Amino acid sequence: MLYAIISQDVENSLQKRMSVRSEHIERLTILKDEGRLILAGPCPAIDNNEPGEAGFTGSLVVAEFDNLADAQTWADADPYLESGAYANVIVKPFKKVLP
């Protein structure tokens, strides 16, 4: 089943994000290589794909897991959460309707 992993950043999270970005991307790449990643990306703090020092306010990942517990376990191990960049993470079942 698909799960939406919705993360909210702490204020001024950019340095915390950058300190563990490669580890964060590595985990997403594994999901992609396994064919389980539907989409992933950050939410810019300003209306621009390259927000610079404004940074990001959170992230969204939609991926396939066997169950909610597995999705939550994966989300809880995110380097952004461990670094303090994320204030909180919500994991919800997700039903893709379109496209």
Domains of the chain with bracketed CATH: 2-94 (3.30.70.1060)
In the sheet with 2-9, reading across from the earlier edge strand, the strands are 37-44, 56-64, 2-9, 86-94
- For the stretch 10-49, pLDDT in tens is 999 999 999 999 999 999 999 999 999 999 999 999 999 9
> In this predicted structure, what is the pLDDT of residue 34?
98
pLDDT band for 69, please (50, 70, 90 cuts): very high
84 token code pair: 């303090």
> In this predicted structure, what is the pLDDT of residue 45?
97
> In this predicted structure, what is the pLDDT of residue 91?
98
